[in-house]
Amino acid sequence: MSISQQSRYATKAEVLRALAPFAKPGNAKGLVMYSIDFALYWLAIAAVIFAPWLALKIIASVFAGLKLSSFVTMGHDAGHKSLVKSTRLNRWLGIMCFIPCMHNYRLWIWDHYQFHHLGTNGQHFDSYTPFSKADFDMLPRYRQVFERIIRSPTVVGFGIHYFFQRMLGVRIFPTAKVPKNQRGSAWRHFALVVAYHVAFVAALYNAPAVAQIGSATAVVLGYIVPFFVFCCLTGGSLYLMHTHRRIPWFRGESDTNRTGRIFKLTATNLTLPGPLSHLVHNIFSHSAHHAHAGVPTYNLRLAQQRLDELLGDDVVVEPLSLGGALATLKACKLYDYENNQWLDFDGRPTAPAIRVALEEDYAAAA
């Protein structure tokens, strides 16, 4: 990948200045967004309980899963203190968004700030970190099968990865890798998560007392199906945001240090028509978020357009499509960290070697 004419004079500082006008959260916009999604989620749950037809209950159940994904998007912004202007309100909105999704607010803050943004696509526990061919061959057979499943062209694989690797790994309760100074707060947030989900499942189980629905149906359609849809959508979104034939990953201390200087290459911009992008809170304008994490999601599409103008061909931009997703899933199985190149499970290259551009490269080209 070459340094394009459009981007060769744009330094990281210039990008931050260019995106700064979009990094202005507003209490009204954030609260309206939260209120609408909150209302839609609970209307969907009410439809699961009270709708007279099973087909309508199933549609409402899937829609509730979509709204849980929206909760994570808003919680993400609140964690970055960008959903609304008030710091305290951001914290409370973040907690309220994450709890229905079985996410521990304290652990999310620790993991997302400490690892994901400081060393994006680096050597740390993250979503869909690829194995090298040598490391994959050393895995036990069951773990190789698991890796093949989560990188297969199935929506279910995304959900399996997100729940078993991300949520159980770092999103729900503190494990030994969580610093001791974070564990007390993390356990308190875990107690909130458990209390909410126990109460919610208990309420669904007792739904026959107020509606013509069985306990099993209420729990499956009101809790299990929405949570499954949420895991699949969130896992798939995270995969597509940071995995692409032109997106590099890094390993080793020197490479981990370099990721802080990588210029916008560790995330994609998957375009959608305006109304659809608005419906999913512009989450696929992801390279703009990594360029300036203070931009709220409701300004992210405009910020992405400005970033694309500055960086030109160096931004990985393509329409979000089934064909594009399948092409990425087919190509991106393992990674050659020495040559910056994606491989299949047999170790054969599936895409050209990636030219990794650092900020000093742009300065030299200016």
pLDDT at position 87: 95
Supply the mean pLDDT for the chain.
90
CA distances from 59 to 34, 45, 225 (A): 22, 11, 10
Query: What's the rounded mean pLDDT across residues 185-201?
Result: 98
Alpha-carbon radius of gyration of the chain: 21
Least confident among 56-65, 304-313, 341-350, 355-364: 355-364
Q: Tokens 């070459």 correspond to what residue?
A: 2
Q: What pLDDT digit, counting tens, does each position of 45-90 carry?
A: 999 999 999 999 999 999 999 999 999 999 999 999 999 999 999 9
Asked if the model's pLDDT at residue 258 lies above 80, the reply is no
pTM, whole model, 2 decimals?
0.90
Residues 6+ away with beta carbon under 8 Å from 50 = 211, 213
Q: What residues are paired with 285 via a beta bridge?
A: 269
* 99 and 75 Cβ atoms separated by less than 8 Å: no
Asked if the model's pLDDT at residue 3 lies above 60, the reply is no
Query: What's the rounded mean pLDDT across residues 262-285?
Result: 87
- Percentage of the chain with pLDDT > 90? 78
Least confident among 123-127, 276-280, 297-301: 123-127
pLDDT at position 93: 98
Q: What pLDDT digit, counting tens, does each position of 93-120 carry?
A: 999 999 999 999 999 999 988 777 777 7
* 333 and 345 Cβ atoms separated by less than 8 Å: yes
Q: 263 or 19, which is more confident?
A: 19
- Check residue 274 and report its DSSP letter: H
